Amino acid sequence: MATQTVQSLVEGGKATAGPPLGPSLGPLGVNIGQVVAEINRKTASFRGMQVPVKVLVDASTKEFEVTIGTPPASALVKKEANVEKGSANPLLDKVADLRIEQIIKIAKMKEDSLLGKALKQKVKEIVGTCNSMGILVEGKPAVDTLKDIDAGAFDTEISQEKTELTEEELKELEEEKKRLAEDIAKRRTELLAKAKTIIDSMAGKERSEIKGKLVQAGIPSVIIDELLPVEGAAAGAAPAAPGAAGAAKAPATGAAAKPEKAEKKAEKQEKK
């Protein structure tokens, strides 16, 4: 029999009979209330996120089937970590910490689109995404947690498919996130001071020479670009002070600078 398809984006767990679903489903003669209830049941775990939904309706029997897509793994990681963006410098700056239960939860949400056959392999894919975003897992850099997973450290949690944390554990993660933010701010201040000292000592030198020295000293590119802007920069010109108007607009090293780059890396990792 002919099947008609309705596709839409809905907020997880909050679909209604109003637009955009209602007007599209109405002409098909399907029970809209039942469709909405089924969509909300299937998208309940994606609250706060836009979820792609597809409703297949049999034109003769009016029977329907609801299938849902899932947001990118990076979006699910951000939701679990309660952060807006991943780290702009994931190797150095860590913006949050996740427990293995949260990783398992995400892996189960994405199980249909991940490459791994077993849950353990799927968990490792999500940990790889965390690595690209500057998210710690179990208090360690994600690459170290991958080694722990391979060594069987979390076999019990994975085999039992544990996905829930206590209120106390969630509170601990929030405290850890605050501490990480303080570490990033402190490190940024130290790097700014170090960079300014180098720049001041090389007054009159070409920008390329100064930049080379900064790179050699381990100064992140975001700080170099902030203190040595290309446009309007003259050799030996004094750089903007860290608190000046121009610098104030510059993103921090670990939280907001070009976050889309980290997100793209995470999505690429998801596809591998």
Residue 146 CB neighbours (<10 A): 18
Q: Does 175 share its domain with 220?
A: no
Digit-coded pLDDT (tens) for 13-56: 899 999 889 899 999 999 999 999 999 988 887 777 788 899 99
Q: Answer whether residue 10 is part of any domain.
A: yes
Alpha-carbon 2 to chain mean position:
40
What is the model's pLDDT at position 201? 94
CATH value at residue 123: 1.10.10.250
The DSSP element (H or E) to which 58 belongs, if any, is strand 50-58
pLDDT of residue 168: 94
The pair of three-digit structure tokens given for residue 38, joined into one six-digit string: 């089924």
Residues 115 and 166 in one domain: yes
CA 145 – CA 143 distance, rounded (Å): 5
Residues 156 and 265 in one domain: yes
The Cα 249–Cα 240 span in angstroms is 11
Q: Are 169 and 99 in contact (CB under 8 A)?
A: yes
In a domain, 82, yes or no: yes
Decide if 54 contacts 20 (C-beta within 8 A). Answer: no
**Measured between alpha carbons, how far is residue 226 from residues 71, 182, 191, 211, 268 in Å?**
34, 21, 12, 11, 28
- Kindly report the pTM of this predicted structure: 0.64
Domain count, the chain: 3
Cβ atoms of 210 and 202 within 8 Å: the answer is yes
- Which pLDDT belongs to residue 249? 37
Which positions of the chain have pLDDT values less than 50?
A: 232-259, 269, 271-272
Residue where a domain terminates, one of 16, 35, 68: 68
Assess whether 11 and 33 both reside in one domain. yes
Non-local (6+) Cβ contacts of 187 within 8 A are 92, 93, 253, 254
Residue 227 has which token pair?
């203190």
Per-residue pLDDT, 46 = 78
Q: Which domain holds residue 87?
A: 73-180+260-271
| In-domain check, residue 146 | yes
Helix (H, G, I), strand (E, B) or coil at 99: coil
Cα-Cα-Cα-Cα dihedral of 249, 250, 252, 256, to 10°? 80
Say what the pLDDT of residue 125 is. Answer: 96
User: In this predicted model, what pLDDT tens digit does every residue of 162-179 receive, in sequence order?
Assistant: 998 999 999 999 999 999
Is the distance from CB of 238 to CB of 201 less than 8 angstroms?
no
Per DSSP, the residues of 134-173 read TEEETTB-HHHHHHHHHTTTTHHHHHTT-----HHHHHHH
| Burial class of 240 by CB neighbour count within 10 A (0 to 12, 13 to 18, 19+) | middle
Q: What CA–CA distance (Å, rounded) separates 234 from 206? A: 8
Q: Let me know if 145 is exposed, middle or buried by CB neighbors in 10 A (0-12, 13-18, 19+).
A: buried
**Radius of gyration (Cα) for the chain, nearest Å?**
24
- Residue 248 is predicted with a pLDDT of 36
- 13 & 50 share domain: yes
